[in-house]
A and B are shown apart, each in its own frame.
Chain A
Amino acid sequence: MLDRKVSVREVRDLGAGNYLMVLRSPDQARLARPGQFLMVKCCVGVDEEPLLRRPFSVFAIRAHARTGNPIGMEILVKNVGAGTRKLVKIKPGQELYTLGPQGRSFQLPEDAGKKTSVACLVAGGVGIAALYLLARELMARRVSPVLFYGARTARELVLRDYFENLGMETHYATEDGSLGRRGLVTGPLSRFLARSSRNGLRLYACGPWAMMRAVHELALDRNVPCEVSLEARMGCSLGACMGCVVQTSDSSDGAHYIRVCLEGPVMDSRKIDWNCQPL
């Protein structure tokens, strides 16, 4: 984890308030693991408001065209609040304080070898940002990732071209039926699971709490491993302030809390008390 002031290379409007930002930072790009995040200050001055940085998944790594070395990182920013409102107005050439990459990354299965293994990647809305690096790493280990991506409407199913360009099997779901199946993404997922062998099957999910809970329950039902990437309002992101906690499932002797920034953001779904949603 490094703290750097990085140059913004590109800000691409993806529609529906979503933006892809490209940050130039070779040192940090080299270190990024699937599921890790960056804590980005949403304005140029370190003392400017809003004060607290915001966490963003490292969506993709930009490589140098000639050498192939990592030189930058891409993050998905949705304009939803005081911080992101300012962040999406940042212009290429401006610099942002960026801390990371940090946090617990996705656990990857050993190289599957001859045996085909399947991994279901389940994304809800901006949760898609946590899963692209994972998809690439899984393919490198000869695990077939299958994408299940849901949102309210087709315009919000951003960045799906990245996954389609990997040649992955994809299933979309929208609440208004404008793309893919009408309804929640767990619909196509559960139908897929019902017709799949559970041998070598793994689930990975990132999205709204209720969606990840539903994926967790499907994982329990099929007795397969499941990891989720959580989101939380963060203070320090270093494990110091104890602000970003979730309640754990092992609460027989009282509630226990673990930090999304340090013991997460990726967690084994069985570790979480899904009844205790931090609102």
Chain B
Amino acid sequence: MAKIPRKKSSEPSMEVSIAGVRFKNPVLTASGTFAYGIEFAHLMDLNSIGGIVVKGISMKPIEGNPPPRIYETASGMLNAIGWQNIGADEFVSKKLPALQQFDTQVVVNVVGFNLEDYLEVTRFLNDFPGIAALELNISCPNVKHGGFHFNKDPRDTYKVTAKTKKASPRIPLWVKLSPNVTDIKAFARACEDAGADAISAINTLVGMSVNVERRRPHLRYVTGGLSGPAVKPIALRMVWEAAREVKIPVVGIGGIACAADALEFLIAGARAIQVGTANFYNPAASQQIAQGLKDYCQSHKINNINDIIGSLQV
């Protein structure tokens, strides 16, 4: 049941619109860090944030990589989860209805090992209401096939985006970009040219850690994706580059742990942001950030959050 909030005239408007979909504020949670949202429902108010991007969904369940799958590093962590998920059928029957009880948008991250996988899960999800967008995960570094491999050459990114867009007539398509590339601007352009409705950036950076006593990697997969505050400067630079390159909205991700971090991304050009790793050590981080953005607008006499988006003076 959506409540119609009564806004005082002095309250800033925190709404942003992405591909015609309204988000009550620019704060979302990142895929893989918030499961299907419900797991956090007793620790924060899920109605307080603009949206939840759920764990990547594939048509059939995926088991994921053998452990160890995570390892903490300076100002961040490595993960090599490997897309463990319950599959699309169980998602739409068990998780989506529960999520839709909350007054927040649901974005579904989609994964696959090859093009046909992406198309199949996209077509399947297009039959279900209440999904604000699909976020195409072609940037995960922790699987041997698919994902990552569409994000090595902009032409592959163009192809997978164009075909998936065609397979998603009812749901807007975001493409989640990898930072493990020489020039993210080329990939952003390819997505826009192929008809993507928005871009989200960045996914994790490939990294590694070694146990010096055992002389083995800390992750069974050897390499993993680095996330957390350590990646913020890189993520911010890439979001800034992408936002200048394309007209479609860019959703910023990477090391955001507080409202000031979120503001950096908005000012640099992001239409919205996603909070990831911070959810692990501060389960209410996204709610606090949403409130912090509002406080900032109030104290800086900003009437509409959109006024600061892309307002960076260079």
- Which residues in A have some Cβ–Cβ distance to B below 8 Å? 1, 3, 41, 46-47, 49-53, 82, 97, 99, 232-247, 254-257, 276, 278-279
Q: Which residues of chain A are within 8 angstroms of B221 by Cβ–Cβ distance?
A: none
Stretch from B11-19, B38-46, B105-113, B122-130 forming part of the interface with A: B38-46
Tell me whether B207 is interfacial, beta carbon within 8 Å.
no
Chain B, Cβ-Cβ closest to A260: B67
Q: Which residues of chain A are within 8 angstroms of B308 by Cβ–Cβ distance?
A: none
Kindly supply a per-residue 1/0 record for chain B positions 111-151, scoring 1 wherever the CB is within 8 Å of any chain A CB and 0 otherwise.
Answer: 00000000000000000000000000000000000000000
Given A238-B40, A243-B69, A247-B66, 15 other A-B contacts at CB below 8 A? A1-B43, A3-B284, A47-B258, A47-B282, A51-B228, A52-B281, A53-B281, A236-B279, A240-B33, A240-B279, A242-B32, A243-B81, A246-B67, A279-B68, A279-B214
Chain B, Cβ-Cβ closest to A240: B35
- A238 lies within 8 A of B72 (CB): no
A41 to B280, CA, bound (A): 11
- B32 lies within 8 A of A241 (CB): yes
- B72 lies within 8 A of A243 (CB): no
- A238 lies within 8 A of B79 (CB): no
A150 to B261, CA, bound (A): 48
- B84 lies within 8 A of A242 (CB): yes
A242 to B33, CA, bound (A): 9
A257 to B82, CA, bound (A): 12
5 interchain pairs, CB-CB under 8 A:
A47-B282, A97-B281, A235-B280, A241-B79, A244-B67
**Among A1, A53, A244, A257, contact of B70 (Cβ-Cβ < 8 Å):** A244
- Which residues in B have some Cβ–Cβ distance to A below 8 Å? 32-35, 39-40, 42-43, 55, 63-64, 66-72, 74-77, 79, 81, 84, 211, 214, 216, 220, 228-229, 257-258, 277-284
- B277 lies within 8 A of A257 (CB): no
Q: Which residues of chain A are within 8 angstroms of B228 by Cβ–Cβ distance?
A: 51
**Among A41, A99, A237, A245, contact of B69 (Cβ-Cβ < 8 Å):** A245
| B139 CB, nearest partner CB in chain A, Å | 18
- B63 lies within 8 A of A52 (CB): no
Chain A, Cβ-Cβ closest to B81: A242
Q: Which residues of chain A are within 8 angstroms of B229 by Cβ–Cβ distance?
A: 47, 51
Chain A, Cβ-Cβ closest to B69: A243
Given known pairs A52-B281, A257-B64, the reply for A242 and B216 (CB within 8 Å) is no
Interface centre among A1, A3, A236, A239 (most CB of B within 10 A): A236
